[in-house]
Structure 1
Amino acid sequence: MTAAVDRRPARRCHNALNTLHSTHYFSPDLGRELGALGVSDPRAVNFAVRAGALGPVGAGTVTAVFYNYKHELVARHVPDVWTTVSPAAALAARLRAVDTTLRRLLGEEALASAEMAEAAQLALRATRGCSRGGRPLYSAHADLPVPDAPHLAYWHAATLLREHRGDGHVAVLAAAELDGLEAVVTHTATGKGMTPAFISETRGWSRADWDAAAARLHARGLIDIAGGTAEPTERGAELRAEIERETDRLDAGPYEHLGAAGLARLTELAAGFARTAALAGAFPARAFGKG
């Protein structure tokens, strides 16, 4: 029997990298940059900057790769957003917003530090262990040039690693027969995801949609909805744990490529930057938890 491989260190590294990557989604700087180009709706902004690497795609593609957004919401903004801003302009605006956001959250000294340069080098090295097959968001972002500034190169690498894991995660969710909303309902039930209110606001799901998904999950024995609050059953908790383990397995390449020493050092650096950003108010409290 083959001994189980502990991939939790790689997941911890990913979580720290993803935290810093995600800061720009909550930043007023992103809205300002896209607003100056004529895109003012926050959801249209999100679709434009994250899907921009794919080119001027339609709503079906965005719904498929984002996975947990209601298609009708996506279709209200895509492909119309491309008549206002080109994918290339959206990506350039995104990078400007990231630059401004990281300067504000981390400070100029951190951005110019040897630690930031080291983190960028390690994260970029990890991306050389990524694979393109079956990973549309990762592969599209991997075609983008690496920025010259170390803090932007670090963010770019974190983006690649985030989308690489995310693409694999979507495949695992689909294999587990969880649709996009069911996936977020089960995650939220664990207390580790975003709040139902924030998910509904940003992903386009109504209360009726949410309740219907919860009822389906309850019928499958995955959540308990007694008392009006969703809680994972033992079976549901194990499914979520297995989903994360399988996602870890599919995402092992970058961190194995980095090696144990590199992984430990990148995790240390990434956690420090993520902590600084969080303490600087990068994320709204209402977005996370069971809410």
Structure 2
Amino acid sequence: MRDQKDSRRFGARAGGLVLGLAVAGAVVVPASPASAAVPGLVRIAATSASTSNDFQAVTATCPAGKVLTGAGYVLNGATGEAVVDDFRPNGGPATAPTAVTVGAYEAEAFAGNWSVTAYAVCANPLAGLVRVSVTGASASSDFQSTTATCPAGKVLTGTGFELNGATGEGVVDDFRPNGGPATAPTAVTVGAYEAEAFAGNWSVTAYAICANPLAGLVRATATSAVTSDDFQSITTACPAGKVLTGAGFELNGATGEAVVDDFRPNGGPAAAPSTVNVGAYEEDAFAGTWSSTSFGICATA
């Protein structure tokens, strides 16, 4: 009997030892590193021919297998003499965007050559990525505004706009994602003024690029000094450890008298963007003071 008891006791102890080793082994296994919220993030650029045409347009397309999370643009050589009329990501309510088209008109005819650069911020496919659009009423009002909101449960990664029927007579003054330094954005508001009064009807379309929630998504902000300078510039940098998926801007106090000429995410075809620069010119000189705000939409790198 003693041999049988010892055998049972030994067996119980052995089982406990094996279990202990298994638990100890589980404790020392290293944790997997956190996944990037937007893997494969890069910035692609495309530039139109430099001409003196009244209208210029160009499309930047993501590399095969990548999708568009956000976008930017630069007007080269226009220095306040041209306005962006179309800043349009493709895609739809059930289709991920993969490209952005930028179209701009001369606000007033000038003899110099100029061109348009479109920037596409692209990543490996993101879950639930779609493009939402909302168009405001068509009217002859001096100011038009509309907001595009992501579907319930999704967050905003990027933005776009379009002025319908303005053909160079409208200026986007407010291109503002919501959210904050601890809050994920979910909508973008687009507000535009008539650059010069005109009789025709026109409207504003806001585009929201939306995805399933992303780790660490926030909205970062920076604002330039308030001055009466002809040119204002400000750069927003994502917080440490985050990358830029999209952006926005706001002109404070200009009310249609200034145009954003430079809306440029940094990065490149092998480098993720982490900042956005907003540069704006007075379209016509005016005495008032004004400033520029840049917004960065940032997620965990």
The TM-score normalised by the length of structure 1 is 0.25
Q: Which has the higher contact order (CA 8 A, sep 6+)?
A: 1
More strand by share: 2
| More helix, by proportion | 1
TM-score norm. by structure 2 comes to: 0.24
- Structure with higher Rg: it is 2
